[in-house]
Chain A
Amino acid sequence: MATNTSSTWQGWAKFAVAVAVLIALPHVLYPVFLAKVLCFALFAAAFNLLLGYAGLLSFGHAAFFGFAAYVSAHTAKEWGFTPELAIIAGTLVAAVLGVLMGLLAIRRQGIYFAMVTLALAQMVFFICVQAPFTHGEDGIQGVPRGYFLGLFSLESNFAIYYFVLAVFLIGVIIIHRTVHSPFGQVLKSIRENEPRAISLGYDADRYKLLAFILSATLAGMAGSTKVLVFKLASLTDVAWQMSGEVVLMTMLGGVGTMLGPIVGASIIVTMQNYLAEIGQLTLIIQGLVFVFCVLLFRRGIVGEIKHWWTRLRGGKDEPAHLGPSGSTGLSDGDAEAAHAQERAS
């Protein structure tokens, strides 16, 4: 890792520009739409923490997103929690759920991991269908946006947008710090070659579990925040389709990149907004985008741009970021070639 000051400054400058743009954006576009994009972007970024950096494909992230949404809605509406407390409550419950599901799911790997997470999430879905506090098909409606710290009203669309932006930035900074920490490096090494990481003395299961919990917690934070934007928590948030959507957002934007999930979420949310009138076509188009991404566009948008950029500058390509799980994301032959290339350079 290069830690020279100029690149750090460049990073901060880019970050400052991005934040400035996000602050100015609601004056151009509808704030509620933007807040929705930010919630899903945080959700996808949390999911990508697990898929992109730990190589674990979870098909059950809707459970964290949706269940946290119910908790946040219930505490805000029935118990009169302030918005930040409601979000903290939802996030904490998602963390607990993450511990429970994670302990079970990491006992299996690869496709079994995906199936186990999907099945456990479906169990959460049925619990939400039957539990009285979720109000079944109606969901929890009319959740008040409330007063931030009990003082500042979030009723106006601008206020809620800036509140969501703050939550989003906290989430993204946590993810960025995690990925660029020693912990993140170990995660990547487990993704690349688990037996080797274990032989070096790392407790791979513990690292994977921690990554799972962190990802679940942040997904819960996104879900809790979404409730305050739409004043609604419903079964849609916990349904398996939601788990599929977040996979799609991440794939389309670029697995294992910081910006990818954010770009992917923006595109999918925009698409849903414009396609809402034509009903079932959304499902078909999402399916087709899935097929297209898997067959021809495995790097995703951001991944593809990075790929061309490094090629243009004659830099070393980064083949490791192609697939859901680095070493296995490539064919064995490619992985061998990549290692040979690394050794040569």
Chain B
Amino acid sequence: MIEFLGVPLPLFMGQLLIGLINGSFYAVLSLGLALIFGLLNIVNFAHGALYMVGAFVAYLLLQYIGVGYWPALILAPIIVAGFGMVIERFLLRPLHDLDHLYGLLLTFGLALVLEGSFRHFYGVSGLPYSIPDSLSGAQRLMLPSWITGGDPAFMMALPNYRAWVIVASLIICTATYILIERTKLGALMRAATENPDLVRAFGVNVPMLITLTYGLGVGLAAFAGVLAAPIYSVNPIMGSHIIIVVFAIVVIGGLGSIGGAIISGFMLGVIEGITKVFYPEASNVVIFVVMAIVLIVRPAGLFGKGA
């Protein structure tokens, strides 16, 4: 068995893969948070809960009307985005002119209500959601002979579904990036982030733009939730842990840039995975430690424009 930095290569690659997968979720979630923060100036505490709701919607679609994974991957984010837009329109908009801490507190309350409701009806043990048939199975990845210098060596088993999660989140992150940075709608959103009054003066319906943005950010969270459903079981408490980690990532990366959110998401997922190989006891806290270091060295965050 080939070793890498003193650990068996398959073990290292396996944890790296888990890190990349967690990183995919972190990236999609912090991307959504960054989008929402840009236009609404609030940190959406309900983001983790809505990620959980996304997974549950996929589960319920399958359970009650037999809608499978692939349609659910499109439908669940749309449903949750619609729900999010209702929240924005009726609960967040009245707070728009107040201190942004109120938005944080309101969405925290919503997160409690959502988590409590699903716990009330489904308990905390988690519900199974199987991997779609088209993505079952795994690939045996070998280290080619030109690296090993001899026979090809076993590197890792890559489950198809896990490879798909990474690909899908890269696609969705890129698509969102292009939408924001390269399209007319994205230009309007960026402009409204900089100066909403001026954009309104040009005849753009800014409140509508804000509602759509919230819907988009929440839809991304739900998309991540559906992606996560077959890997982790569908569980009412799946959102509350991940949101705190994502908050730390957002502090590290800064909410200022879309690209920064994506990069720091993947990066910290990988750091977490590698920590699991070399010092497993610290894997739960490594992201918070990185956050503390960033706060000392570069308080505005790696990609931030200031506190």
Contact B285 A283 (CB under 8 A): no
What separation, in Å, do the CA atoms of A294 and B105 have in the docked complex?
A: 7
What is the total number of residues of chain B having a CB less than 8 Å from a CB of chain A?
A: 44
Contact B94 A112 (CB under 8 A): no
User: Are A111 and B101 also in contact (CB < 8 A) when A119-B251, A240-B244, A284-B116 are?
Assistant: yes
Total A-B Cβ pairs within 8 A = 144
Contact A329 B251 (CB under 8 A): no
Contact A114 B101 (CB under 8 A): yes
- Hey, which chain A residues are within 8 Å of B43, CB to CB? 111, 114-115
What separation, in Å, do the CA atoms of A284 and B281 have in the docked complex?
A: 34
The stretch that binds A, out of B11-19, B78-86, B166-174, B291-299, is: B291-299
What is the total number of residues of chain A having a CB less than 8 Å from a CB of chain B?
A: 49
User: Are A291 and B288 also in contact (CB < 8 A) when A119-B247, A281-B120, A331-B98 are?
Assistant: no
Q: Closest CB-CB distance, A31 to chain B, in whole Å?
A: 30
Contact pick for A119, options B94, B102, B119, B288, CB 8 Å: B288
Interface residues of B in 101-153 (CB under 8 A from A): 101-102, 104-106, 108-117, 119-120
- Hey, which chain A residues are within 8 Å of B299, CB to CB? 107-108
What separation, in Å, do the CA atoms of A251 and B112 have in the docked complex?
A: 16
- Hey, which chain B residues are within 8 Å of A284, CB to CB? 112-113, 116-117, 120
User: Are A279 and B120 also in contact (CB < 8 A) when A119-B291, A120-B292 are?
Assistant: yes
What separation, in Å, do the CA atoms of A108 and B291 have in the docked complex?
A: 12
As a 0/1 sequence over residues 38 to 73 of chain B, the CB contacts with chain A under 8 angstroms (1 = contact) are 000011000000000000000000000000000000
- Hey, which chain A residues are within 8 Å of B99, CB to CB? 323-325, 328-330
Contact pick for B102, options A123, A286, A294, CB 8 Å: A294
Contact pick for B100, options A104, A111, A116, A240, CB 8 Å: A111
What separation, in Å, do the CA atoms of A39 and B184 have in the docked complex?
A: 56
B195: interface (CB < 8 Å): no
Q: State the 5 A-B residue pairs at the shortest beta-carbon distance, nearest first.
A: A290-B109, A287-B112, A283-B116, A287-B113, A284-B116
Residues of B participating in the A interface, judged by any CB pair closer than 8 Å: 42-43, 91, 94-95, 97-102, 104-106, 108-117, 119-120, 240, 244-245, 247-248, 250-251, 281, 284-285, 288-289, 291-292, 295-296, 299, 307
New A-B pairs, 8, CB < 8 Å, besides A119-B291, A287-B112, A288-B109: A104-B296, A110-B307, A111-B43, A123-B288, A129-B284, A247-B105, A287-B115, A332-B97
